[in-house]
């Protein structure tokens, strides 16, 4: 519903499972996580992301072809920017959208 409050973008994405610490304690929320220091477990989790994304990107490029893959990336970047603009505009609108 348009009248229902929207959760902040990224809500629920604060680190869990000991992947970040804030002043020696687990972060209580996203803001604390932004100021937090990654733990060894957090750094290891991030290290596992890169190779998986690279392998998937290679497979997608092979499936789509380089030109179509590049166009797909451009379209997704435009979509991301548009979603950010809509989200930012909705947060600045006191009526909620």
Residue-wise pLDDT for 77-97, tens only, equals: 999 999 999 998 887 755 544
Beta-carbon count within 10 A of 54 CB:
10
Residue 69: phi and psi, rounded to 5, are -65, -45
Residue-wise pLDDT for 11-58, tens only, equals: 455 555 655 555 555 555 555 555 677 788 888 887 888 888 888 989
For residue 38, the cross-strand partners are 20
The fraction of the chain above a pLDDT of 70, given in percent, is 58
The count of C-alpha atoms lying within 13 angstroms of the C-alpha of 50, restricted to the half-sphere facing its C-beta, is 4
Rounded to two decimals, the pTM is 0.44
Q: Look at residue 97 in the predicted model and tell me its pLDDT.
A: 46
The Cα–Cα gap between 96 and 17 comes to 33
The Cα–Cα gap between 77 and 84 comes to 11
């Amino acid at each position: 519903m348009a009248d229902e409050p929207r959760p902040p973008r990224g809500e629920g994405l604060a680190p869990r499972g000991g992947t970040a610490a804030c002043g020696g304690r687990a972060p209580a929320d996203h803001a604390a996580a932004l100021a937090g220091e990654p733990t060894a477990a957090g750094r290891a989790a991030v290290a596992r992301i890169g190779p998986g994304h690279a392998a998937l990107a290679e497979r997608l490029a092979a499936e789509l072809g380089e030109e179509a893959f590049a166009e797909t990336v451009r379209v997704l970047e435009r979509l991301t920017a548009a979603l950010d603009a809509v989200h930012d505009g909705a947060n600045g609108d006191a009526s909620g959208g």
